[in-house]
Structure 1
Amino acid sequence: MVRLPFDDEHAPLYSVGQVADMLNVEQAFLRRLDEYDVVRPARSPGGQRRYTRHEIGHLQNAISLIGEGMSLTAVRRIFELQQEIADLRAELARERAAREADRG
């Protein structure tokens, strides 16, 4: 069976207007999140922002954090630290797997 683009959560399919409607926010707010490197969507060949389902999840998290009083800079840093933790966990899992393979 052929996988379609909407099956891939990392496929850039959604326009700023669509995402703004989905999340009930202003388009300018989404552009501001892009300017602050909180969520940087891909660009279409015409230069329009295109969001993935994965990025929409990040936007939802950002909106929640902002609602709790976090600044855009703080939200960006939280996202950076979350990514660093995920990367370190993946590295640790690889090292553990390599050690297990050496023992076996």
Structure 2
Amino acid sequence: MGSLPIDDEHAPLYSVGQVAGMLDLQQAFLRRLDEHDVVRPQRSPGGQRRYSRREIDRVQYVVRLADEGMTLTAIRRVLELEQEVRLLRRQIEAARHRIAALEADRPDDESHPA
């Protein structure tokens, strides 16, 4: 038996009302997050916002940042910078692997100059 949509953390299963109820938030706040490009849920064929578990986690994180006094503009920038850092870390790790592979292919007598 294959996996179910509920098993996929990226599956857009939850409506604005359901997420607002789960997290004890106002639906208007969730709409503002979307309008400010902070959390962009997917849309159903009828145009309704649909949230995945991953997006719900992000909403919870945003709420914590907002509770610390950050504006939605600042929160959006923090999220962008965190994404950039993740990308850079992956690039650094890939570069390290390439360097290690190149060093492993190099003969021993070349690795220690006389």
Check whether TM > 0.5: yes
Secondary structure of 1:50's match?
A: strand
- What percentage of aligned pairs have identical amino acids? 61
Name the structure 2 match of 1:38: 38
Structure 1 residue ranges without an equivalent (≥5):
none
Name the structure 2 match of 1:26: 26
Structure having greater relative contact order (Cα 8 Å, sep ≥ 6): 1
Greater Rg by CA: 2
Runs of 4+ residues over 4 Å off in structure 1? none
Name the structure 2 match of 1:84: 84
Distance 1:85 1:71 in 2: 21
TM-score by length of 1: 0.95
TM-score by length of 2: 0.87
Give the deviation of 1:101 after TM superposition: 2.1
Tell me how many residue pairs correspond in the alignment.
104
Distance 2:99 2:52 in 1: 36
Structure 2 residue ranges without an equivalent (≥5):
105-114
